Amino acid sequence: MSSDSSPIIRASNLRLSYQLNTYKVDTLKEFLIRKFKRQSVFQQKVALKDISLEVAEGECIGIIGHNGSGKSTLLKILAGVIRPESGSLSVSGTLVPLIELGAGFDPELTGRENIFLSLSIQGYSRQEIERFVPHIESFSELSNELDQPVKTYSSGMYMRLGFSCSTVAAADIILIDEILAVGDQNFQKKCLQKLDDLRKKGTTIVIVSHDLATIESIASRLIVMNAGQKVFDGPIDEGVLFYLDLMEQKRQTALSKAELAELNRKAKLADEPTPLEQNAKIVSVNVFTSDIEPITPTSTVIIEIKLAILRETTDFPSVGFAIQTAKTGIRILGGNQYSLGMQGRHPIPKSGMYSTSIYLKNLQLASGKYDVTVGLHTKDLTKTLDIKPAVASFEVQCISDPQNFDRDLISPRCVVGSWKVTAQKDMGSHNNCPGELQI
Amino acid sequence: MIDKQRLKLARIRFDLLFLLISKDLRLRYRGSLFGYLWSMLNPLLQMMVLTAVFSFLVRFKIENYPIFLLCGIVLWNLFSQSLTQGANAIIANGGLIKKVKVPVAIFPTASVASVTVHFVLSLIAFFAISFFMGHWPRLIWFLIPIYLFVFIGFIWGITLAISSLNVLFKDIGHVLDPILQLCFYGTPIIYPISVLPESIANIVALNPLTHFVGSIRTLYFDYQVPNATTTIYCFGLMTLSLLFGSFTYYKTRDKFVFRL
């Protein structure tokens, strides 16, 4: 990331307002009547107020905000789909918007024909596209289906083709809007991997989402939008705290006055400094292994939890985890640092971002998929601060039994110590020496 | 340097236009038995129906009436199909326009272009019938492409305007059909302008189509060069239409995203 070089995207004082839906004039009659009555034809709603933004080449920034904060509108302006009312925008370099995967695919056309159409719309010449086709074919894993109409594709295949088309050309800038929330998990992983590769090659990425975890995993800088304004622009860690705090304030103002009074009264009675519920949030959960992939029954599995503490509290919250089977949801084990007696030296819970890593050694699980649930509780476990059920997952592959025919939960190979086979004397006369089998 | 970039951009636009046309043609006949033959068969069937009707019901004193009629119908189809297809071109691609930066004008342009391709295909059948009926080519026919070109320019401008306005006011799509019907009878297609009483002929002369169809038919049917007034009319109308079309488009295009 070179922040001193000239920015690849430079926007200044972007402003946009549009007509509210209730005042939408759709027919000529309505339009003329309103004109005639000298009524304002449209009621204006300001979607973006004086947004200025600079993105350096190779930077990866996230834009976050609740619904209607203008984040998608901003992205569409950057993509050139919407022209701002005032303000200036300069983008140097090629730009690909991933606002919707496979936007502009014609269902009647074959996959191959759609590749040409889609990339042609992106602005590539015929010869360039012809060079891209083999790459798309291999990345999308659709070489057999490429000559069939897209309407026969499953939604997953559709997404794969769309993503391949959008990323094959390695544009200078990629704009992403929520698309990673869809598709199956393997595909998501592949997409994230591809985006990571592109980022390493120096592609500038702007991603819009309201999912903190997605943004946190990609972006290094965060912009928080609220009511059409940029209210924060800075490093991701500070941004996450700022956003969570903002959301909390919104939640509180959304409560009615009576509810608020009741809450305050209770807080006074209980003599608590501040209700802790609002003060800690899980930001992201990541499960991986420190050993070689894939995870085997004996590998060390690490659950990395990032959490944000919004206001200073007395005790560090209890960080709990549980592992359950992905298919059947059977809980295998779980606990938190207090119940496991591992409180050790906790930092004084000032506001900020914290990271907790739980090392699970020798987990001995059988082949299969497992989900991880993470929760934050008060130290005395009476109150839940935040809980994310099945927020992450991992897969164990036992080499001796990769299919797990018996649907074991625990890998038998690691539990069974020895195996004895003894022949009874009266069963046969030939083979009567006792044998012992050692695994 | 800048010119080189412009050249590349123009090439890319052309490629895209080509793709859109071929997509349109391919989709239209995918799954039909006769395929492209329909482009030729359609005006032929239309001519047969109309000839049958007008040879028996109303008798115009024209030699080789089927050829006269067919010439008009082929030109009329070029006009009306461009408009009906073009009117929805932007709306139909709304999903794309809302999400990707595209030169929106390319969609109505592609509609006109693909209808033009059809038109050219139907000419094969047209000339075959023409020769069969004893209407032979002459050197003067070389002027036809010029007038056709002007006519297509006129159609392009109108289509651009209609497709843009249709996004903002959906009424246009509904009004278009009756207007086209009126135009069909208000243009000398099935009848020669000479059969009309002068008062009505003056009104019909206000119809731009009268001049386009008239000029091409003069060349093709009468083997005569259209007179200067008609020629100036045609060029003037094309210019006006193109100006009106691009003006409407540039004025409205920023609103498309919110209305689609």
Nearest residue of B to residue A81 by CA position? B101
* Interchain CB contact of B179 with A (< 8 Å): no
Tell me, yes or no, whether A399 and A263 share the same domain.
no
* Interchain CB contact of A82 with B (< 8 Å): yes
What are the tens digits of pLDDT across the range A251-296?
Answer: 777 766 667 777 666 666 655 544 445 678 888 888 888 877 788 8
* Interchain CB contact of B138 with A (< 8 Å): no
Tell me, yes or no, whether A295 and A235 share the same domain.
no
* Interchain CB contact of A103 with B (< 8 Å): yes
Tell me, yes or no, whether A394 and A250 share the same domain.
no
Entry pTM: 0.76
Nearest residue of A to residue B165 by CA position? A28
Of A269, A293, A327, the last residue of a domain is A269
Please indicate, yes or no, if residue A375 is contained in any of the structural domains.
Answer: yes
Domain hosting A5: range is: 1-93+172-269
Judge: B30–A108 Cβ closer than 8 Å, yes or no.
yes
Judge: A123–B30 Cβ closer than 8 Å, yes or no.
no
Write out the H or E segment, with its range, that includes residue A175.
strand A173-177
In the block, residue with structure tokens 């839906």: A21
Joined together, the tokens standing for residue A30 give: 């309505």
Please indicate, yes or no, if residue B92 is contained in any of the structural domains.
Answer: yes
* Interchain CB contact of A81 with B (< 8 Å): yes
Contacts B162 to A, Cβ<8 Å = none
Tell me, yes or no, whether A322 and A200 share the same domain.
no
Please indicate, yes or no, if residue A431 is contained in any of the structural domains.
Answer: no
Judge: A103–B258 Cβ closer than 8 Å, yes or no.
no
In the block, residue with structure tokens 């119908």: B73
Domain hosting B242: range is: 37-259
Concatenated DSSP letters for A316-377? PPEEEEEEEETTT--EEEEEETTTTT---SPPP--SEEEEEEEEE----BPSEEEEEEEEEE
| pLDDT digits (tens), chain A, 439 positions | 444 467 888 888 888 887 655 555 667 777 777 667 666 555 677 788 888 989 998 899 999 888 878 888 888 888 888 888 888 888 888 888 877 777 778 888 888 888 988 888 888 888 889 999 998 888 888 888 888 888 888 877 888 888 888 888 878 898 888 766 556 667 777 887 888 888 888 889 998 887 787 788 788 899 998 888 889 898 988 888 888 888 878 777 776 666 777 766 666 665 554 444 567 888 888 888 887 778 888 888 899 998 888 877 777 888 889 999 888 888 888 888 888 877 666 777 777 888 888 888 888 888 888 999 999 888 877 878 888 888 888 888 887 777 777 777 887 777 777 888 888 776 555 555 555 555 4
Tell me, yes or no, whether A257 and A319 share the same domain.
no
Judge: A125–B171 Cβ closer than 8 Å, yes or no.
no
Concatenated DSSP letters for A360-400? E----BPSEEEEEEEEEE-TTSSSEEEEEEEEEEEEE--TT
Please indicate, yes or no, if residue A433 is contained in any of the structural domains.
Answer: no
Tell me, yes or no, whether A253 and A186 share the same domain.
yes
Chain A interface test: which of B4, B15, B251 (most A C-beta within 10 Å): B15
* Interchain CB contact of A19 with B (< 8 Å): yes
Tell me, yes or no, whether A35 and A88 share the same domain.
yes
Tell me, yes or no, whether A179 and A88 share the same domain.
yes
Q: Cα(A298)–Cα(A364) distance, rounded to whole angstroms? A: 6
Total number of domains in chain A: 3
Tell me, yes or no, whether A340 and A256 share the same domain.
no
Please indicate, yes or no, if residue B65 is contained in any of the structural domains.
Answer: yes
Contacts A97 to B, Cβ<8 Å = 99-101
Q: Find residues 69-128 of chain B whose CB sits inside 8 Å of chain A.
A: 93, 95-102
Please indicate, yes or no, if residue B29 is contained in any of the structural domains.
Answer: no
Total number of domains in chain B: 1
ipTM of the complex: 0.80
The answer to whether A223 touches A230, Cβ cutoff 8 Å, is yes
Nearest to A26 among B11, B96, B170 (CB): B170
Confidence of residue B236 (pLDDT cuts 50, 70, 90): very high
Phi, psi of A107 (to 5 degrees): -60, -25
The answer to whether A307 touches A320, Cβ cutoff 8 Å, is no
